[in-house]
Amino acid sequence: MTGNRAKTVGEPMDRLHLVPLGEIEPAVLEEVGKNVEQTFDIRVARAKAMAVPADAFTAFREQYHSTSLLNRLRASHPPEGGYGGILGIVDRDLFVPQLNFVFGEADAAIRTAIISLARLRPEFYGLPPDDELLRSRAVKEAVHETGHMCGLAHCPDPECVMFFSNRLEDTDGKGADLCRLHRDRLGKILTGLRR
């Protein structure tokens, strides 16, 4: 893993591979890819789907460990010349040990992130499916985690996409765009990396 880290840290993220883990609706992949491309001015290429690693499943929690999935994603897609990052999308419930669940996780050092659709689906809460709402939520979480890969921290502005979503209401309440402060920070980060 350390070999991969050395190749990605400090390089501009000019490309991102969008990797479905298992079956993901094409409309979700398309909407996420389009919005990430527009927000970060990077080329998004859809990669071949990979199976959801069974060893990331934690039986007593009935959830998948998101950090384990991040590491498997990076191992399956090693960096190439000019290659920026990886964003995985999975339809399984995710967790990290200190939290009950996460909508996603990012590791800026290895330029890898993952988002989960499980808790973004209205039917998770006993409501009827809503494809438009699912796509909107997926875009917000994908842009948020990609922001972390680019070096952005959480934002105190509840309307900024970098606001931390502790609950689904937080995701629904925020926008899909960066606030002015985070747009400026992103510009400085990208300018510094591209020198």
Tens digits of residue pLDDT in 24-37: 999 999 999 999 99
**Secondary structure class of 83 (helix, strand, coil):** coil
Which of 156, 151, 158, 160 lies closest to 185, judged by CA? 151
Cα(41)–Cα(160) distance, integer angstroms: 18
Q: How confident is the model at residue 4 (pLDDT cuts 50, 70, 90)?
A: very low
* Residue 85 near residue 16, CB atoms below 8 Å: yes
Please state, in angstroms and rounded to a whole number, the distance separating the CA atoms of residues 166 and 153.
15
The maximal CA–CA distance of the chain, rounded, in angstroms, is 50
Tally the C-alpha atoms within 13 A of residue 11's C-alpha that lie toward its C-beta.
Answer: 20
The catalytically annotated residue of 62, 145, 159, 169 is 145
pLDDT for the residue numbered 115? 98
At 7 the pLDDT is 38
φ, ψ for residue 161 (rounded to 5)? -65, -20
Q: Has 30 been annotated as catalytic?
A: no
Q: Which residue has the tokens 């995710």?
A: 94
Burial of 183 (0-12, 13-18, 19+ CB in 10 A): middle
Q: How confident is the model at residue 14 (pLDDT cuts 50, 70, 90)?
A: confident
Q: What is the pLDDT of residue 78?
A: 72
Check whether domain 2-150 has CATH 3.40.50.150, yes or no: no
Q: Look at the pTM and tell me if it is higher than 0.85.
A: yes
**Which residue type is seen at 173?**
G
Judge whether 27 and 129 are in contact, CB under 8 Å. Answer: no
* Residue 3 confidence class, pLDDT cut points 50, 70, 90: very low
- 29-33, 46-50, 137-141: range with lowest mean pLDDT: 46-50
Rounded (5°) CA angle 31-32-37: 100
